């Protein structure tokens, strides 16, 4: 018994290793990475069959196909409607979307990935809260806290990278978690709904962030906006792929790896551990969970702490990886876009990665499109809105089927 479970473990670890190697190589502009990713898929299939049996695997794939079918249809429909919109307003839909896809997936694919990194974290934060029956609508606030903490530490740290970076992750993540602890405690103690409280905390964090920028390198004499902080010390920068794979794009940093690994870890926690089991139990039926000895209040608190931690990570990777400083950025919108991605992913933490990449590609492609064809970028907003609207197709579909 022990032996077999050990072999599962080996296969799982190999799978993750292959995924990481594959991504690294691919991001380093070496297409052999794709082979590794394919191998990882095969390994995953083998692992599933060994552990749960063939029948179970077929069930999983079937239900996976079923869940992906309608969102895919929704995405196509959204592009179709968006195309009609472009046609009416006098642009060429096919050419525009062609440029968008070319820009998002081929020409500027690294921008898509850079866009996706913070989205993966915020969407994971919202997903894990969803699983616990909570709605972390204020992820944006925890993102700001993570950003501020990382910048503050980054400016002051003068340590070797290997020490500084993990330390910043831990401390800034802890700050985000602590920031979310207040709504969590209010929820458990007074019953104040987290939608109102986390949202208020998001606005508070945003307001404070402009102050923070003024006192960390911004111009303190400027009253309203003091755009930029000092840069963080170079030892705290996340390594880029270029540093070990010379063909890679110079901006591409290893944040995407951290994000993917985090997504896998969240999936593992939710579905394989006692904590995840308890989170899901509380989310689905807190009465039964309580009756069966789960400390519901404690689980709510832990869930919110984890959500805060993950959202803060989004800020940390953004500062350490890409910006290396903090901007006054009123409409960063990673919180809201994170909600969109989490909804699109339908509370699956693995699907979050793909949905975030897709969302990032939409933005990157939109920018490329408007630069080359002068089609307004904001068509992307319309398409995004439509997609979000069409995710509800799942519910629509169920509704009409029940009516019939």
Partner 1 sequence: MWYAILILLILRKLIVAQTVLETLGISKSFAKIKANQNINIKLYEGEIISILGENGAGKSTLMNILYGLYRPDEGRILLNGAEFEASSPREAITKGLGMVHQHFMLVETLSVTQNIILGEEPRSWFGINYRKAREDIINLSKRYHLKIDPDEIIANLTVGLQQRVEILKALYRKARILILDEPTSVLTPQEIEDFFSIVKNLRDQGTSVIIITHKLEEIRAISDRVYILRKGRITGEFITRDVSVVDLANHMVGRDVILQVNRTNHETLDEICFRIDDLKVMNNRGIPAVDGLSLYVKPGEIVGIAGVDGNGQEELSEAVIGTRRIQDGAIHLRDQSIKHWSIENRIENGIGYVPADRQKDGLILPFSIAENVLLGNQNARSMIRYGHINRSAIRNRATKLISRFSIVAGGPDLPANYLSGGNQQKLILAREFDREPDFLLVSQPTRGLDVGAIEYIHNQLITMRDRNVGILLISMELEEIFSLADRILVIFRGRILKEFEREEATMNDVGFYMTGGTHRNSSNV
Partner 2 sequence: MNVFIELLNAEFLIASVRLATPIILASIGATICDRSGIVNIGMEGMMLMGAFFAAWAAWKFANPWFGVLVGMLAGGLFALFHAWATVSLHLNHVVSGAVINILGFGITRYLLELFFGHPGTSEIIPHSLAEYRFAIPLLSRIPLLGPVLFNRTPIVYMMYVVVILFVWITRKTRLGLHIKAAGEHPIVLETLGISVKKIRYIAVILSGILCGLGGAYLSIENGNSFSEGMTAGRGFIALGANIAGGWTVVGSLIASFFFGMVDALALRIQVLGVFRVPSEIFLIFPYVAALLAVAGLVRKSRAPRALGEDFQIERSGT
Nearest distance from C-beta of residue 284 to partner 1, angstroms: 5
Q: Is the distance from CB of 131 to CB of 396 less than 8 angstroms? A: no
**Cross-strand partners of 240:** 253
Q: What DSSP string runs through 242-270?
A: GGT-TTS-TT-BTHHHHHHHHHHHHHHHH
Q: Is 208 in the site for partner 2 (CB under 8 A)?
A: yes
Nearer to partner 1, 19 or 281 (CB): 281
Q: How far is CA 111 from the centre of its chain?
A: 15
Q: Is 2 near partner 1 (CB under 8 A)?
A: no
Contacts with 20 (C-beta within 8 Å, 6 or more apart), sequence order:
257, 260, 261
Residue 253, beta-bridge partner list: 240
Distance CA 120, CA 107 (A): 22
Q: CA 26, CA 36: separation in Å to the nearest integer?
A: 9
Give Cβ neighbours of residue 255 (< 8 Å, ≥ 6 apart): 117, 238, 317, 318, 320, 321, 322
Nearest alpha-carbon partner for 226 in 215, 212, 214: 214
Binding residue (CB under 8 A) for partner 1 from 191, 293, 331, 403: 293
Q: Of 98 and 376, which CB lies nearer to partner 2 in the complex structure?
A: 376
State yes or no: residue 274 binds partner 1 (CB under 8 A).
yes
Residue 101 binds partner 1 (CB under 8 A): no
Site for partner 2 in 365-394 (CB under 8 A): 376-379, 381-382, 384-385, 388-389, 392
Figure out which of the listed residues 85, 290, 372, 381 binds partner 1, where binding follows CB under 8 A: 290
Q: What is the CA radius of gyration of the chain?
A: 22
Instruction: Please give the Cα distance from 373 to 71 (Å, whole number).
Output: 29
Q: Which does 277 bind (CB under 5 to 8 A by kind): partner 2, partner 1, none?
A: partner 1
- List 294, 320, 355, 386, residue binding partner 1 (CB under 8 A): 294
311 touches partner 2 (CB under 8 A): no
Applying CB under 8 A, does 7 fall inside the site for partner 1? no
Give the DSSP H/E element, type plus range, for residue 81. helix 54-88
Please give the Cα distance from 339 to 324 (Å, whole number).
Answer: 25
- Decide if 358 contacts 391 (C-beta within 8 A): no
Stretch of 17-25, 107-115, 282-290, 311-319 contacting partner 1, by CB under 8 A: 282-290
Position 10 contacts partner 1 (CB under 8 A): no
Partners of 327 in the β-ladder: 228
Q: C-beta of 339: minimal distance to partner 2 in Å?
A: 5
Q: Does 381 bind partner 1 (CB under 8 A)?
A: no
Q: Does 247 bind partner 2 (CB under 8 A)?
A: no
Per-residue x/- track, 41-80, partner 1 (CB under 8 A): ----------xx---x--x---------------------
Contact 168, 154 (CB under 8 A): yes
The helix (run of H) or strand (run of E) holding residue 130 is: helix 109-131
Per the structure block, which two tokens stand in for 297?
């209040």
Query: Which partner in partner 2, partner 1, none is near 164 (CB below 5 to 8 A by kind)?
Result: none
Residue 330 binds partner 1 (CB under 8 A) = no
Min dist CB 256 to partner 2, Å, is 24
- Tell me how far, at minimum, the Cβ of 381 lies from partner 2, in Å: 4
Q: Which two tokens stand for residue 293?
A: 């000895």
Nearer to partner 1, 26 or 130 (CB): 130
Residue with Cβ nearer partner 2 (354 or 389): 389
- The encoded tokens of residue 328 equal 């006054």
Q: How far is CA 94 from the centre of its chain?
A: 30
CB of 294 vs partner 1, minimal distance in Å: 7
Q: Does 275 bind partner 2 (CB under 8 A)?
A: no
Q: Which residues inside 210-229 make contact with partner 2, applying CB under 8 A?
A: 210-211, 214, 223
Distance CA 274, CA 285 (A): 16
Q: Which chain residues interact with partner 1 by CB under 8 A? A: 5, 51-52, 56, 59, 272-275, 277-278, 280-281, 284-285, 287-295
Q: Which chain residues interact with partner 2 by CB under 8 A? A: 89, 135, 137, 186, 190-193, 195-197, 199-204, 207-208, 210-211, 214, 223, 330-331, 333, 336, 339-340, 343, 376-379, 381-382, 384-385, 388-389, 392, 395-396, 399
């Amino acid at each position: 018994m022990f032996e077999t479970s050990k072999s599962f473990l080996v296969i799982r670890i190999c799978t993750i290793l292959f995924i990481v190697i594959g991504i690294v190589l691919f991001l380093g502009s070496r297409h052999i990475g794709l082979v590794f990713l394919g191998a990882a898929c095969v390994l995953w299939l083998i692992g599933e069959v060994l552990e749960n049996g063939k029948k179970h695997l077929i069930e999983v794939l079937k239900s996976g196909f079923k869940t992906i079918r309608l969102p895919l249809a929704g995405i196509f429909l959204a592009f179709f409607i968006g195309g009609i919109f472009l046609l009416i307003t006098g642009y060429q839909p096919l050419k525009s979307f062609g440029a968008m896809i070319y820009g998002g997936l081929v020409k500027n694919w690294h921008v898509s990935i850079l866009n996706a990194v913070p989205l993966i974290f915020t969407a994971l934060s919202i997903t894990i809260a969803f699983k616990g029956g909570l709605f972390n609508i204020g992820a944006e606030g925890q993102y700001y806290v993570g950003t501020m903490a990382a910048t503050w530490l980054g400016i002051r740290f003068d340590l070797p990278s290997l020490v500084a970076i993990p330390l910043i992750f831990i401390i800034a993540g802890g700050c985000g978690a602590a920031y979310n602890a207040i709504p969590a405690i209010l929820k458990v103690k007074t019953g104040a709904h987290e939608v109102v409280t986390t949202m208020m905390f998001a606005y508070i964090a945003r307001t404070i962030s402009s102050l923070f920028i003024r006192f960390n390198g911004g111009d303190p004499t400027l009253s309203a906006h003091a755009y930029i902080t000092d840069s963080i010390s170079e030892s705290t920068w996340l390594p880029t792929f270029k540093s070990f794979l010379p063909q890679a794009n110079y901006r591409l940093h290893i944040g995407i790896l951290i994000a993917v690994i985090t997504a896998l870890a969240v999936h593992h926690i939710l579905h394989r551990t006692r904590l995840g089991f308890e989170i899901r139990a509380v989310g689905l039926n807190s009465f039964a969970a309580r009756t069966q000895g789960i400390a519901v209040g404690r689980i709510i608190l832990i869930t919110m702490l984890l959500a805060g931690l993950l959202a803060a990570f989004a800020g940390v990777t953004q500062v350490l990886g890409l910006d290396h400083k903090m901007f006054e950025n009123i409409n960063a919108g990673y919180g809201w876009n994170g909600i969109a991605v989490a909804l699109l992913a339908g509370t699956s933490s693995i699907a979050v990665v793909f949905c975030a990449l897709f969302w990032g590609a939409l933005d990157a492609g939109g920018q490329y499109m408007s630069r080359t064809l002068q089609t307004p970028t904001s068509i992307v907003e319309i398409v995004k809105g439509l997609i979000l609207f069409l995710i509800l197709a799942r519910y629509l579909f169920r509704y009409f089927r029940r009516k019939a």
